[in-house]
């Protein structure tokens, strides 16, 4: 496993995002996770391509952009041009999911499919060879600081199994309620990319919080015998 930490700016101080990003990068962040919300697919509204473009200028690690929006096809190119290196879209809003994933990959960035807690893993069966990563929501999307849903652990395992059965080494990403208490559970289930918001930016020192969370995840992966790094996807942004 190649454990990567992706702190979510949703929980950061928006008046000092550059400072916040620099802190978690010093703490070992591998990615910066940006939640894009439109007020339709989810109730909140967050940021658009201009903010991603600004963050791209200050971040030294890839930007992982999660489109929680009703019409992602309209905005894929804009977010890629703004600096996204990973771009994930929700299966719940895309009747032509394979086409969207292929288009994202054609732009040279990693394409991810996102599953809400109530969406079964089996919806990926027909596109399992077309994803560079799968994001499993471990809370209902739309706001930060929610409690991890224990029922999603089995879904993480099922998604990992579907990918393995297809010969796809793409990582499983998890987002929602990830902290020092839940991180071992998701790593045991097969998660490799860990999105954490409140557990990092809600702490007194985001640099220390990021370092501790990643250290616990890496140590647990090694302890359970998953220390080997998976073969990277061709669209892996590292």
Report, as residue numbers or ranges, the catalytic residues: 35, 175
Q: String of b and e for 73-83 (b: at least 16 CB within 10 Å)? A: bebbeebbebb
Q: String of b and e for 25-34 (b: at least 16 CB within 10 Å)? A: bebbbbbbbb
Kindly write down the DSSP assignment for every residue of 79-137, as one continuous string. HHHHTEEEEEEEGGG-TTHHHHHHHHHHTTSEEEEEE-TTS-GGGGTTTTTS-SEEEEE
Length of the chain: 238
Using DSSP, state whether 36 is helix, strand or coil: strand
Sheet holding 191-196, edge to edge: 4-7, 191-196, 172-175, 133-137, 110-115, 84-90, 63-68, 32-37
Please state, in angstroms and rounded to a whole number, the distance separating the CA atoms of residues 108 and 68: 21
């Amino acid at each position: 496993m190649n454990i990567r930490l992706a702190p979510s700016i949703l929980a950061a101080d928006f008046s000092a995002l550059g400072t916040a990003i620099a802190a978690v990068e010093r703490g070992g962040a591998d990615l910066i996770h940006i939640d894009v919300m439109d007020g339709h697919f989810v109730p909140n509204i967050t940021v658009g391509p201009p903010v991603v473009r600004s963050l791209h200028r200050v971040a030294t690690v890839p930007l992982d952009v999660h489109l929680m929006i009703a019409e992602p096809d309209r905005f894929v190119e804009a977010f890629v041009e703004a600096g996204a290196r990973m771009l994930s879209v929700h299966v719940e809003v895309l009747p032509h999911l394979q086409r969207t994933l292929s288009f994202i990959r054609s732009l040279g960035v990693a394409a991810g499919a996102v599953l809400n807690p109530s969406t079964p893993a089996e919806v990926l069966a027909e596109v399992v060879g077309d994803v560079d990563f799968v994001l499993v929501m471990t809370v209902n999307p739309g706001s930060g600081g929610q409690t991890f849903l224990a029922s999603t652990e089995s879904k993480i395992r099922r998604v990992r199994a579907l990918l393995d059965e297809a010969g796809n080494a793409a990582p499983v990403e998890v987002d929602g309620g990830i902290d020092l208490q839940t991180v071992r559970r998701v790593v045991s289930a097969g998660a490799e990319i860990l999105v954490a918001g409140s557990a990092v930016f809600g702490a007194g020192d985001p640099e220390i919080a990021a370092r501790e969370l990643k250290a616990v995840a890496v140590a647990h992966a090694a302890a359970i015998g998953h220390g080997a790094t998976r073969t990277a996807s061709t669209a892996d942004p590292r």
